[in-house]
Structure 1
Amino acid sequence: MKKLITAAAFIALTALAACKNKTALDSNGVPETLTIGVVQSEGVEGIKQVREQMRDYLSKKLNMPVELVYSNDYTGVIEALRANKAHIADIQPFAYVIATRTMKLNPLVTLGNNGKPVTYKSVIISNAHGNIKTMDDVKAHSKNLVLGFVEPASTSGHLIPRAYLNSIGLNPDTAFKQTIFAGNHLTSVLSVKSGKTDIGCTTNLIFMLMTKAKMINDDDIRILWTSDPIVSDPIVAKAELNKDLQKRIQQAYLDMNKERPEILKAYVKIFIKDTTRRSYMVSNDTLYNGLRKIAGGIKSLKAN
């Protein structure tokens, strides 16, 4: 029995070492396999297939193995970066801001439109068949309402609507009957539709894909408030990753629209109807300073 245990332990250690070696950086900061952290996005039709096509494109372009590391939420993606399980990541703006509190990340690219970053918006919603029809109704009845955010690291589903609610005198931690985190954008919308939450927070991009997937009807959800535009998600790299490799990864994304436009078009089409003129563009840290300022101004915000 002791020999069996020893053998089993040796096999486990060998497997662990192999796993570590595959993603570990060598003395030049280059991994054997490049890993990309992404959110599962369960229920989003076609996204896994497109991501797999992107992975294959990057692998061929970079001439090295590339793997996707899936997490249930953006907090999990941050942890994957922190634990060196992911070298680069497709991450929401606020998740990037949170992550850079404890580690150095380099934004490589973001989606652009005619040389300007693509933007999206945060929305606060209610059930279209209910009695909450305006934000004045929310203010009047907040003590009887259940508020649903998406997850702590979500930009449109947490940071931006939290800041707005605070600005109109509704502290999400005290002003409502209950405040919950739904887990993802789909669940946040479905919780409002089902009545689990009275009001919810999400992105305006979610409705088209949920309607297309027949998860909601056009008349199920009422939009109570819409934010100013938010700069789209950056694709970021850990600072320790080889600088030349980072430049090659960046260039691979920039070249995608010329070399494999059908992949980029399929990805964009999942979220928006107009896929023309969309392509990756160089990103930089200053694009997210506005979010840092918002996050820094919310004393009750705890998203580490």
Structure 2
Amino acid sequence: MKNLITCLILLCTLLVSGGCRDSADLDANGIPHKLIVTLYGSDDPGALKGAIKPFQHYLEKKLGMPIEFIYTTDYTSVIEALRAKKTHIAYLSPFSYVLASQKHDITPIITTGEDGKQSMYHSTIFTNIRTGINSIADLKKRSKNITLCFADPASTSGHLIPRAYLTTIGLNPDKNVFKETIFAGNHVASVLAAASGKVDVGCAATEFGLEIAERKGLVKADQIKVLWQSKPIVGSPIVVRNDLNKELVKKIQNLYVNLAKDEPGIFLPYMKLLHSQPERYSYMTVQDSMYNGIRAIASGIKDLNVVK
């Protein structure tokens, strides 16, 4: 983890030097002049922005302040926005939250619930059926001739979890066991890279990679062969900076928790981008301790590199 944090600190310096804002964007009571929310733009940023816009207007009305949503192309940029105090709220993956919380200046307040319980998802390793790779045993035998694709460097299901699994079976991607290892940028891109033959094997979230690509008609189910799927992974958190006014944070948290019930017309279109049955989902509160399992996995991988 030391090398991991060193990489992130270095990247932070490069990204924010010459324009870094600090906590001066808050008044003496921790109230921002404009509330900034930063999130990863996913594989379809246009659709995401369209689904988020009504929620932005809803928050502005309820909170009585201007709000800006900023969309990034990767999780690392979201982490750096938090470190540089360029955002007040951020949508993170479990792994990117663990990375961002190293300085203990943020708190998770919201995650997604499914049927009244915290939602879970899965990581998967897959291949194009044309490769002839039919099992993990085949993958091990042919690894020297295989190009492997992860999603985003700070992704949990698209990088950390499959990397950890591969390492446990003797296929550490940093030990030149594969012909090449690349990052596609997001889950759907990883699926498309494998489906098109650009890479031999891909890694992504089952729910946010394979299933979305299939629902959109980008790939057919019979094009892809799943080689491995992880145990359930804890859901992604929405986090706030710790210097934000506590009463404001509580109000924001309550607006999220009650959104599915109070404003289904705002909530469901956003959830439909992610899930085939959006009516089963809602927002719920979350605690930092729920990500201790992710911390343990990350700390167990030496020289973990999240920089592309």
Whether these two folds match at TM > 0.5 is yes
Opposite residue 185 of structure 1, the aligned amino acid is H
Matched, 1:267 2:277: no
- Residue in 2 that maps onto 1:178: 180
Provide closer, same or farther for how the CA distance between residues 145 and 302 of structure 1 changes in structure 2, counting only shifts above 3 A.
same
Question: C-alpha displacement at 1:103, in angstroms?
Answer: 4.4
Contact residue 191 and residue 213 of structure 2 kept, 8 A: no
Question: C-alpha displacement at 1:21, in angstroms?
Answer: 10
- Residue in 1 that maps onto 2:114: 113
| Identity across matched positions, percent | 45
Contact residue 23 and residue 35 of structure 1 kept, 8 A: no
Question: C-alpha displacement at 1:33, in angstroms?
Answer: 0.6
- Residue in 1 that maps onto 2:36: 35
Q: Does the residue aligned with 1:148 lie in a helix, a strand or coil?
A: strand
Question: C-alpha displacement at 1:302, in angstroms?
Answer: 2.8
Matched, 1:227 2:230: yes
Opposite residue 280 of structure 1, the aligned amino acid is Y
**Alpha-carbon distance between aligned partners in 1 of 2:286 and 2:141, rounded to the nearest angstrom:** 42
Give the gaps of 5 or more residues in structure 2.
1-17
- Residue in 1 that maps onto 2:3: none
Contact residue 23 and residue 34 of structure 1 kept, 8 A: no
Question: C-alpha displacement at 1:44, in angstroms?
Answer: 6.2
Question: C-alpha displacement at 1:111, in angstroms?
Answer: 0.7
Question: C-alpha displacement at 1:212, in angstroms?
Answer: 3.1
Provide closer, same or farther for how the CA distance between residues 21 and 183 of structure 1 changes in structure 2, counting only shifts above 3 A.
closer
**Alpha-carbon distance between aligned partners in 1 of 2:78 and 2:103, rounded to the nearest angstrom:** 14
Provide closer, same or farther for how the CA distance between residues 23 and 136 of structure 1 changes in structure 2, counting only shifts above 3 A.
farther
- Residue in 2 that maps onto 1:258: 261
- Residue in 1 that maps onto 2:199: 197
> Comparing 261-270 with 126-135, which one deviates more in the overlay?
261-270
Alignment of 1:110-259 (within 5 A): 110-174=111-175, 175-205=177-207, 206-259=209-262
The structure richer in helix per residue is: 2
Opposite residue 272 of structure 1, the aligned amino acid is H
Q: Does the residue aligned with 1:253 lie in a helix, a strand or coil?
A: helix
- Residue in 2 that maps onto 1:89: 90
Question: C-alpha displacement at 1:109, in angstroms?
Answer: 0.7
List per-residue Cα deviations over 1:56-86 (Å, max 9, x = no partner). Answer: 2211121111111111100011111111111
- CA-based RMSD of the aligned residues comes to 2.1
When normalised by structure 2's length, the TM-score is: 0.88
- Residue in 1 that maps onto 2:304: 301
Contact residue 93 and residue 155 of structure 1 kept, 8 A: yes
Question: C-alpha displacement at 1:269, in angstroms?
Answer: 1.9
**Alpha-carbon distance between aligned partners in 1 of 2:132 and 2:93, rounded to the nearest angstrom:** 32
Q: Does the residue aligned with 1:224 lie in a helix, a strand or coil?
A: strand
Opposite residue 28 of structure 1, the aligned amino acid is N
**Alpha-carbon distance between aligned partners in 1 of 2:280 and 2:194, rounded to the nearest angstrom:** 34
Question: C-alpha displacement at 1:274, in angstroms?
Answer: 2.1
Give the gaps of 5 or more residues in structure 1.
1-15
**Alpha-carbon distance between aligned partners in 2 of 1:225 and 1:21, rounded to the nearest angstrom:** 44
**Alpha-carbon distance between aligned partners in 1 of 2:234 and 2:288, rounded to the nearest angstrom:** 11
Opposite residue 254 of structure 2, the aligned amino acid is Q
